[in-house]
Structure 1
């Protein structure tokens, strides 16, 4: 439908900027208001407690999108959204101790908060090591990077412990999400290698490591501890380039020294012994 028609429907339905699916899953506009308030509060709390040093913009911008995405992920996990908004969460959120206890006692709010805390670490790693790579003029690598960034909330879910009775499709969800990220990140690594873009970390750590480890790695980059670190894949490429340069320069040096390349012989037997080798001219 046209933008004007959509705005008219939103005005008639009274949902404002909220995603229609979010309101539908919540059960009513009134319930959607309460869930939105809770979700945005949990996002703010998680963002304030983030330790990577990176601003987790998915938790701060576009609240309508965050609310929809959060409920979407829960639905994908097989979570049943409570028919009625939990009464113990219907508070002013002005008492930190009481608030934290209530959040912890309600499984749905506890899982949402755990997801957001995981996202602060996952996003931190993305911002530290991947964002600058995928924001490239290469359209193909940009598109792959968009997939990686848009599904970070799903990846964050894979880094937390979830009761399978609460989220019966968690294992299936995790397998699919990690499979997608393995494919996307492998593609980015390959494209970065071909473009000569240096990597400062193993990107597949996003698949294999827990969110705490990702957060620590992101914080190290933010604090400048990795200023001189280059990932082994790129380091090996630099070594190969150096060797190729030597292969081009060495014949010129030999000619300057008056060594005939046709008569040059190298004893490679000492290579395997790790010792020095000698060059002789027959």
Structure 2
């Protein structure tokens, strides 16, 4: 949702007023309120005025609207960040998943935006079974598993895995770990290369990684009815953006250490394994830093090993390489002259 529109809708909801009253409170015309509601840009100063008016602290208006109330937004905020912490602890790529650290305060609004794009309708109230999370699942305030039996299932996580909202968010975060690892290992460096001049054409690659991660999870389409359309759109966008990076790298001779389009086609688990191998230095022994040139060199070395064995197997001992056939005559006149000479010789022989 457009931020200007979100501010207007949130103010109308929280203040329980009409557009005329809202216009009076922020000292603008009712027409301007309509323009903002239709998506016209709102200045930072005016956003600050709206923020003070609706008193939502540092939260984003889109997220508060998604949660339906400031009270529920606080609950979703706490749950989302708890799930983010758990996902970071389980990451195995060797790279820190910066979006989950939420230094910019964008995590909650990114989650709500991604779920909305998937067609997920937020519940009218924060799920009561998840509400217990804040005071412990048994009301005691202890949300940890039984210390006396470390192998006993954690009742909190059983609860979170059962609820479709928390389960989907958890799966997206786990996927984001792997997608982010691949992005940092192979894509970010290419985008940041000044020689490629890609800032304008690929600014969305990092910004939309949450959406790409969501495309790689399994989700019930009854819960997310727009998932297929969402997935098709996101995948198509990333194919376009990553192809632009590859084309620019080819034009400037910049080596690419992985097939960037794997970011679209591979599962998040496969991306995670690839990123982990890079972080552990397993790719340091490559013959060439560029993956495509490396494949050519490896292929040629394989041929050098296999070809003698084939010749021996076929009992070919008198093979001689005709090096003249390895060169291309770039002068068309010489090529024509050679052809003419051949024809003349052939005619004379006849």
TM-score of the superposed pair, with normalisation by structure 1: 0.81
Q: CA deviation at 1:6?
A: 2.3
Structure 1: gaps spanning 5 or more residues: 240-274
Aligned with 2:216 (options 153, 159, 170): 159
Partners of 1:75 and 1:126 in 2: how far apart?
Answer: 24
CA contact (8 A) 2:93 2:178 kept: yes
Answering whether residue 224 of structure 2 is matched by residue 175 of structure 1, we say no
CA contact (8 A) 1:134 1:144 kept: no
- Give the alignment of 1:73-222 within 5 angstroms: 73-90=114-131, 91-92=133-134, 94-95=143-144, 97-138=154-195, 140-222=197-279
Answering whether residue 292 of structure 2 is matched by residue 233 of structure 1, we say yes
Residue correspondences, number: 246
CA contact (8 A) 2:72 2:126 kept: yes
Partners of 2:323 and 2:50 in 1: how far apart?
Answer: 84
Q: CA deviation at 1:139?
A: 6.7
SS at match of 1:172: helix
Q: 2:18 corresponds to which residue? A: none
Q: CA deviation at 1:144?
A: 3.3
CA contact (8 A) 1:148 1:184 kept: yes
Q: CA deviation at 1:107?
A: 0.5
Residues 188-224 of structure 1, C-alpha deviations (whole Å, 9 max, x = no match): 1111111111111111101111000000000000000
CA contact (8 A) 1:155 1:177 kept: yes
CA contact (8 A) 1:202 1:231 kept: no
Answering whether residue 85 of structure 2 is matched by residue 44 of structure 1, we say yes
Q: CA deviation at 1:98?
A: 2.0
- Give the alignment of 1:254-269 within 5 angstroms: none
Partners of 1:224 and 1:49 in 2: how far apart?
Answer: 21
Structure 2: gaps spanning 5 or more residues: 1-41, 137-142, 146-153, 299-318, 325-350
Q: Aligned in 2, Cα 1:149/1:276: closer, same or farther, shift over 3 Å?
A: farther
Aligned with 2:63 (options 22, 25, 31): 22
How large is the Cα RMSD of the aligned pairs? 2.2
Q: 1:33 corresponds to which residue? A: 74
Structure scoring higher RCO (CA < 8 A, sep ≥ 6) equals 1
Aligned with 1:53 (options 94, 106, 114): 94
SS at match of 1:206: helix
CA contact (8 A) 2:195 2:252 kept: no
SS at match of 2:198: helix
TM-score of the superposed pair, with normalisation by structure 2: 0.66
Partners of 2:235 and 2:321 in 1: how far apart?
Answer: 48
CA contact (8 A) 1:35 1:85 kept: yes
Partners of 2:276 and 2:50 in 1: how far apart?
Answer: 45
Q: Aligned in 2, Cα 1:78/1:31: closer, same or farther, shift over 3 Å?
A: same
